[in-house]
Chain A
């Protein structure tokens, strides 16, 4: 079990290289086997995960560039555990449901390499290693969208790449600056995130660095106004590309907020929670309206993805254990549900080579099984109780309700708006009589499509009814995170107060060289840290003798 995370990262990549030796007929079976092994091993992670312990588990650390503090440092906690499992699961499912036949070997090899980078992002605890996988994930995705896509595929692929790359470079500068601050504070280079968690910074510096990192994450999420690449990427990508993009790649951004922004910049996170929430609400409401205006089924789901990611961001910036836990759970449920929806649209696209709602109607009578699964996923997406989507969405909103009931109320329209555009899609395509001649002979789901979709449907229902086994570790981790933020602010406060005390008690002659502006800065920091603590205390029950 010592190197299980390394295995999870590199197994798909090694398998991809060996896959080049496999013949074209058996390559799909090979890829399914590889991803199934990967998934089973990731389940092993869950069964060996010590739920009682806190902090990182399965840690591996090998120094790579010692003089510059870069090490191969992996580990997972309650947040990343399930995201990793979701990643391996969705990769496997997407390959099972694959119907693409052109150049299959290259497609599957890039998919396996993509799996490596995705797992790498979620288990890396060293910022440089994180960044390496983060950037590397663009390359296979570029190839998948650009080579197997439709329409303006090249434009969409390049736009996706450039947008994310540019955002990431700003993030890289932020990371290098944090490393520089760490070096100044301790005299040692380190890119380990767990080291950075201990770094104390004044609020203004935290805000700048928060913004630098947030730009990188925001492009990936994608947050308004950086979301314009997503509809293109989804619109032109092949089904499997959309599934992976929606299910996993978008989660990297919101994961980044939880892994980096909240624990490293607690004061800035508290300071900027309302602006972030406003952006999230714009995402939720605006993109839901745009989704309603779409005529293409895939675009509806693409925009609904942005809308739901808005709820994830909102929950994260509720900065209490309900909100953060809910947002992580919503990441998982959105991964499964949106993945399934994209796959379902892919099913109809394979048969008719169009995704326009106006082309369809009455599909429920021609393809009953398809209609049932689509219906369940749709309910999950809307957030109907007893589906997986409900749990995360409601927890995120409840979390933010404690911060600001009015804003949470506005964000709550996501459920109504979601119902409007999704039911509209369902009505136009599935109900009524079969108006279009071409739709009369459509085949219902094929065995491999059933094999991919039924497990997803089962998961959506089971975890909607009984989310506890997953929710509990996540909630524990989010409680710890909030606790950590609170005590980090407290520690900074205490050290600042101590400095002020020493300044006041020092004899007259010794303090002459100290500039009054420096003292003002420290006094300001005391005020800032106190504000952080007060607000965290207000929004969280865990400090009030609660759970």
Chain B
């Protein structure tokens, strides 16, 4: 038997430093928990510290290239998406410091799970090896199922189970897809798959398409693309509000990056079948998501369907295949992150741990009736988040929409641009509905304290950060765009 020779230099340990940091945080929390029971303030601070350290490592080391026997691939898009994941997590974690006591935050495991999940998604975006992507995806997802279930209400258990079932199904699909790609090309590395397929000019087209279909289904579940979106509203409703907001951002950006790596060259191939598939999927996702959001009574379910629609909107970037579109995708998601987390945090602030607002919903529209007269600042903030999601300038998501629609026009997808614009016009109705309730209706009989009982300084801080970003986004676009552009171009997309 040959001895295995390790060359530490060739391992390029730097490539996994940010993940190591996050994983180290998780292990640290578990170890501390063995020794001494501590409160959630401590865990939140420790988690934030480790996340901050990971962000520092990511930005400072200028890691690039491959590591770990070519399994890791830290390129520009990996850096941007890791940054979105880490910043999203950093905004999420202080939301655990609620005014009320929620059971899940008592456990140190909650925070450990959370950091494991973050590391899982980080691995998922920093590899072009189908197996490592799979492991990252499953690590992240399994931890997430647990986090959802720990919210510890009947609906949460249902949500976790539903998500788990769907996730397991998607995992099977993913395995089938990888299998077919391996069978056709003899490799599980996307780069090699690409070069082999392009060299033999898509020899086994039927098999490749079958594999692609499996992959679209697998990622479709994660990205909540129509028709694999049905779990979304139930799971969001069962999960705690910040968790739902988190789910609408972080796992999806990870999914987008994998989709970008895998489908980009397939969509750009001459036969055009994959591009058409993606076109149909993206258009269906944004349109059906929008139409279903129109008829919801609960704000959380509305936001769930709206996030389906946003995912469809961003999915178009992959079928356009231009650099501008890919830049637009990350720009859009970064802007969407602040807005959507802000909106969900606002719901979180108005949550009571045991009492539900009415028989059916925690956050029906009627709960927010006349909010401007009782809690004007909160109402104005929530109004801004809604306007931003609707794409009203000058709020954050508008600039993403502008850039994406422009990308569609520039890549000769004029009809797609029109559909995207019309969808924005439909979407404005249901965001406006909440604004109408908050600003134009008279207050319902409640005394108004429900709007902020759960609020504490950290929650308000996160909200303020999100709101400031949403208002002042116009000045952040230029630096953001520059950063994203450099990284996307550097990684060749």
List residues of chain A with CB under 8 Å of any chain B CB. 64-68, 103, 106, 128, 131-132, 135-136, 138-139, 142-143, 146-147, 153-154, 157-158, 161-162, 165-166, 169-170, 172-173, 176-177, 179-180, 183
Contacts and interface: CB of A to CB of B under 8 A. Distances in A.
Given A67-B482, A136-B394, A128 B428 contact: no
Contact of A170 (B421, B474, B475, B481): B421
Given A65-B481, A176-B402, A166 B394 contact: no
A180 B410 contact: yes
Contact of B392 (A65, A136, A170, A180): A136
B403 interface: yes
A139 B478 contact: no
Given A157-B440, A166-B425, A180-B406, A64 B474 contact: yes
Interface in B413-438: 414, 417-418, 421-422, 424-425, 428-429, 432, 435-436
Contact of A179 (B406, B421, B435, B436): B406
A99 to B, nearest CB: 21
B477 interface: yes
B431 to A, nearest CB: 11
Contacts of B399: 65
B478 A162 contact: no
A154 B440 contact: yes
B319 interface: no
Given A176-B405, A179-B406, 15 more contacts: A67-B481, A128-B393, A128-B402, A143-B439, A146-B439, A154-B440, A157-B436, A157-B440, A158-B432, A161-B432, A162-B429, A165-B425, A165-B428, A166-B425, A172-B421
B105 to A, nearest CB: 36
Given A139-B387, A169-B424, A176-B417, A147 B478 contact: no
B393 A66 contact: no
A17 to B, nearest CB: 11
B436 A158 contact: yes
B58 interface: no
B350 interface: no
Contacts of B223: none
Contact of A68 (B373, B393, B418, B481): B481
A68 B421 CA distance: 19
A165 B477 CA distance: 23
Contact of A173 (B376, B409, B477): B409
A169 B402 contact: no
Contacts of B410: 180, 183
A176 B398 CA distance: 13
Contacts of B424: 169
Contacts of A162: 425, 428-429, 432
Contacts of A154: 436, 440-441
Nearest to A168: B425
Nearest to B406: A176
Q: Which of B376, B392, B482 has the most CB of A within 10 A?
A: B392
B394 A132 contact: yes
A232 B372 CA distance: 24
Nearest to A147: B440
A166 B424 CA distance: 8
A463 B414 CA distance: 48
A128 B477 CA distance: 14
Contacts of B414: 177
B284 to A, nearest CB: 20
A183 B409 CA distance: 12
B285 interface: no
Contacts of A131: 393
Contacts of A180: 406, 409-410
B485 interface: yes
Chain B CB within 10 Å — which of A139, A169, A170 has the most? A169
A196 B9 CA distance: 55
B409 A147 contact: no
A161 B428 contact: yes
Given A176-B417, A179-B406, A180-B410, A65 B477 contact: yes
Contacts of A177: 409, 414
Contacts of A176: 402, 405-406, 409, 417
Contacts of B406: 68, 176, 179-180
Contacts of A128: 393, 402
Nearest to B327: A67
Interface string B373-414: 100100000000001000011100001001101100110001
Contacts of B394: 132, 136
A6 to B, nearest CB: 14
Contacts of A170: 418, 421
B402 A172 contact: yes
A146 B439 CA distance: 8
B481 A169 contact: no
Interface string B461-483: 00000000000001101100110
B57 to A, nearest CB: 28
B422 A147 contact: no
A166 to B, nearest CB: 4
Nearest to A136: B393
A158 B414 CA distance: 29
15 contacts: A64-B475, A64-B478, A65-B399, A68-B481, A103-B373, A128-B402, A132-B394, A136-B392, A136-B394, A139-B387, A161-B432, A166-B425, A169-B424, A169-B425, A177-B414
Contacts of A132: 393-394
A166 B441 CA distance: 24
A461 B414 CA distance: 51
A172 B435 CA distance: 24
Interface in B262-286: none
B123 to A, nearest CB: 32
B307 to A, nearest CB: 21
Contacts of A135: 392-393
A180 B410 CA distance: 6
A68 B410 CA distance: 13
A176 B440 CA distance: 34
Nearest to B424: A169
A26 to B, nearest CB: 19
A173 B474 CA distance: 20
Nearest to A133: B393
A161 B430 CA distance: 12
Nearest to A66: B478
Contacts of B482: 67
**Most chain A CB neighbours (cut-off 10 Å) among B414, B440, B477:** B440
Contacts of A172: 402, 405, 421
A153 B432 contact: no
A51 B393 CA distance: 34
A131 B157 CA distance: 46
Contacts of B441: 154
A169 B421 contact: yes
A442 B271 CA distance: 79
B54 to A, nearest CB: 29
Contacts of A146: 436, 439-440
A153 B422 contact: no
A67 B393 contact: no
Interface string B67-104: 00000000000000000000000000000000000000
A137 B260 CA distance: 38
B392 A169 contact: no
A127 to B, nearest CB: 11
A472 B312 CA distance: 53
B222 to A, nearest CB: 30
B490 to A, nearest CB: 16
Nearest to B482: A67
Query: Nearest 9 A-B pairs (CB), nearest first?
Result: A146-B440, A132-B393, A166-B425, A169-B421, A176-B406, A132-B394, A65-B478, A65-B477, A135-B393
A440 B328 CA distance: 67
A480 to B, nearest CB: 30
Nearest to A63: B478
A188 to B, nearest CB: 14
Contact of A67 (B405, B409, B428, B485): B485
